[in-house]
Amino acid sequence: MRNSLTKWFSRSRIFIVFGIGVLACVVFIIYFPAVSASLYADDWGHLERAGRATWSEYLTFYFDPRVQGMWYRPAQGILIRLTYVLFDSNAAGYHITQILLHIVNCLFLLAIVRRISSNWRLAFVSALIYAILPVYSWAVVWFAVVDPQAVLFYLWAIWAWVAYLQDGARLYRVLAFVAFICSLMSKETGATLPLVLAVMDMFFFQGRIRDNRFLLRYTAFAIVLLPYLILQWYIQSRGWFARDAGYSLGPHMVENLIRYSEALFFPGIGDAWNHFLLVITIPLLSGLIVWTRNPALVFLLFFAFLNILPVIGFAPSYFQSRFLYLSATAIVVFWAWLLEWIHVRLGRWQWHGVLLSGTLIFGVVGSGLGIIDTVTTYAERSRQERVPFRDIAQRHPTFPPGTYLYFIGSHDFYLQGLSGMLFWRYGYDVTVGSTNDTMPARLHDHPLTFVYYFGETRQPIDVSLGENEPLQTPLPLPVSFAEPIRLEGYETTRTQIKRGETLVILLYWRTQERIATDYTVFAHLVHANGETVAGYDSQPKQGTAPTTIWPRGRLMIDSIIMPIPSDVPAGTDYRLELGLYYLPSMERLGIVDAAGHVIADSLIIEPFKIVE
C-alpha cells in the first residue's frame, strides 16, 4: 500500500496535478470578470428558444435540417438547453460553462502534446500559452460562440486517435469516432478532422496512404463525412447566413488569409507592425524548418492554416479573430516548441532559465491584460444592448397576457437580444417581433400591440395602434415593378392619425433575382389638392438594406416612420403615394402589369384621415 502511494505521489504525478491546477486557476483568474457580465446579442435568442419550446419542439428545431437557415449544430443546441435547465436566467452560469469548456480544451491540448512528444514541459507551456492567448478571447466570453464546445470534441478526437495509434486499444478508436461525430454536430470545422488525423498518422506514426490498413482506419470517418457534406450543402444552398455574410470565392480570400495569419502569429500588435512582422517571419520560419528538419513544425503550420481556410471566404467586413480558436492550438505548440528549443540551445548559460521564465511570465501578464480588456468591452456592449430593454421595463412593469411588441430597427444590434430579454422579464405574457423577421407582422391580430422604433439616442419610442379601417388601392396587391421587385403587402399602425403623432407603415417586399441598382423608397402623404404634407425618402431599412443586397426569395420587411406635422389641416382627403426611384436621376421605377407594360409610377393607398 505504501509503495503504491509513493508511486502515485511521484514527482511526475505531482507535476501533472500541479500543472492542471495552475492552468485552471490562470483561466479562472483571467476570465472571472466575465462572470459578472450579462449576456449578449444572439445569446438571448438561443436562451429564449430554450425557455419557450418543449423538449420535443426544441430537438426538432435543432435536428431537422429543413428548418435551418444558418447551419446544422444540434450539439450546441443540446448544450444550451442543458445550461438553461441548470441556470435558468442566471447569466453567470452561462459564462462559467464557457470558461470550463476552455479549461478542458487546455487540458486536452496538454494531454495531446504530452502523448506525442513525451515532454511534460513542452506540453505544459503549450497549454499555458493557449489558456491566456487573447486573440480569440471573444470566443470564451460570448456564450453563443460554439467554438469552445466544438474544439473540445475536436481535441478529444485527436487525443483518443493518438492513444489508439500508440496503444492499439479499440476503445480509443471508438472514442475518437464518437468525438468526431460530436464535433461535426457542433460546428462545420469538424469536417477537417479526418484529414488532420490522417496527416498526423503519416507525420508521427509512419502511416502510408498505399497501405490498405491505413485506408481502412479512415473508412468509417469518410462514410460519415460524405452525407454530412451533402447535408451542409443542402442547408447553405437554401439558407441565408452564408449569403448575408458575403461568403464567396474571390480575391478577398487572400486579404482574409493575410489578416488571419497576422492575428494568429502576432496577436495584440498593430496592423502596420503585423504586415512588417509577417514579411520577416515567413523566410525565418522556412529557414527554421529546413535547419531543424522537424516535421512537427510542418504539421503545426498545416493544421493552423487548414482550419483558417473555411472562414476566409466571408466578406472582409466579417473578419473576427474568434474564428482562430481552433487554429491557435497549433500555433501555441509552435511557440512553446520554440521556447523549448531555445532552452536546450542555451542550456549551458546559467541565466537562460531566468530569461525564459521572465519572458513567459511577461507574456502571461500581458495576455491577461488583453483578455481583461476584451471582457470589459464585452460587458460594456452587453450593457448598451440592454438600454432599450431597461427603458421599456421601467415604463411597463407588467404587460397583459397576449401583448405583442414589434420593433423597428435600422441595425441588428438593437434587435438581436431584445426578444430574449423581454422573455426573461415578462415570460409567456409577451411575444416579440421585428423587422428582422421573415414573416408579416400582423399587428392587428393581437389583443394589445405596441410598435417601437428607436430615437437618435437609441431610446425606444412606442407607437400605439388605432382603428384599422379598410384601405383601398386602385392596383390590386401584389404589385410588380419594372425591376424584378414585388410589393406583396403592407400594414399601418392606424388610418386616423392625430396631428403631431407618428404614422408607421410596414412594407413587404420580395425579389426572385439579384437587383443591380440601389433604389430609394418614397412615401408621401398627399392632400386631395395635391399638396404633400408629410414624406419619407430612404433606402430600405433606413439605408441598411439597399436593394442590391436583397436575398432572392426572402421577404424583406421595410418600415416607414412618418411624423405628422402639428399644423396639417384636419380632414379625410389624404392618400399615401409610395414607390421606388433611382436617386441620381430621380427617375421613378414604374409599376408594370402582367405583360410588362408600365401602368403607374406609384401605388396609391387611401383614405387616411388627420384628426385633431
Closest CA to 253 of 202, 312, 322, 206: 312
State the Cα–Cα distance between residues 433 and 408, nearest whole angstrom.
9
One domain for residues 457 and 337:
no
Q: Do both 287 and 215 map to the same domain?
A: yes
Instruction: Please check whether residues 66 and 16 belong to one and the same domain.
Output: yes
Phi, psi of 488 (to 5 degrees): -90, -20
Number of H-type helices and E-type strands within the chain: 22, 16
Q: Using DSSP, state whether 545 is helix, strand or coil.
A: coil
Q: Is residue 319 part of a domain?
A: yes
Does residue 531 share a domain with residue 444? no
Shared domain check, 347 and 302: yes
Q: Domain for residue 469, yes or no?
A: no
Query: Residue 531's domain is classified under what CATH number?
Result: 2.60.40.1930
What is the domain extent for residue 501?
Answer: 479-611
In this structure, are 457 and 570 located in the same domain?
no
Q: Could you tell me if 96 and 43 lie in one domain? A: yes
The verdict on 333 and 281 lying in the same domain is yes
Q: Report the C-alpha gap between 549 and 248 in whole angstroms.
A: 14
pLDDT in tens, 303-343: 888 998 888 888 888 888 888 999 999 988 988 888 777 77
Lowest mean pLDDT among 284-293, 314-323, 424-433: 284-293
Q: Does residue 473 sit within a domain?
A: no
Asked if residue 471 is part of any domain, the answer here is no
206 shares a domain with 343: yes
Among 382, 416, 451, residue at a domain's last position = 382
CB atoms within 10 A of CB 543: 11
Residues 511 and 495 in one domain: yes
What pTM was computed for the model? 0.81
Residues 308 and 407 in one domain: no
Domain boundary among 351, 382, 413: 382
Q: Which residues, other chains included, contact 342 with Cβ-Cβ below 8 Å and sequence gap of 6+?
A: 352, 356
**Please, which pLDDT band fits residue 523 given cuts at 50, 70 and 90?**
very high
Indicate if 391 and 376 belong to the same structural domain. Answer: no
- The Cα 612–Cα 567 span in angstroms is 10
Number of domain units in the chain: 3
pLDDT tens, 481-494?
A: 998 999 999 999 88
The angle that helices 328-345 and 120-132 make with each other, rounded to 10 degrees, is 130
The sheet carrying 479-481 orders its strands as 556-563, 502-511, 485-492, 479-481, 591-592, 598-600
281's CB contacts (< 8 A; 6+ apart) are: 265
In the predicted model, is pLDDT for residue 508 greater than 90? yes
133-142, 314-323, 335-344, 444-453: segment of lowest average pLDDT: 335-344
Last residue of a domain, one of 464, 487, 507: 464
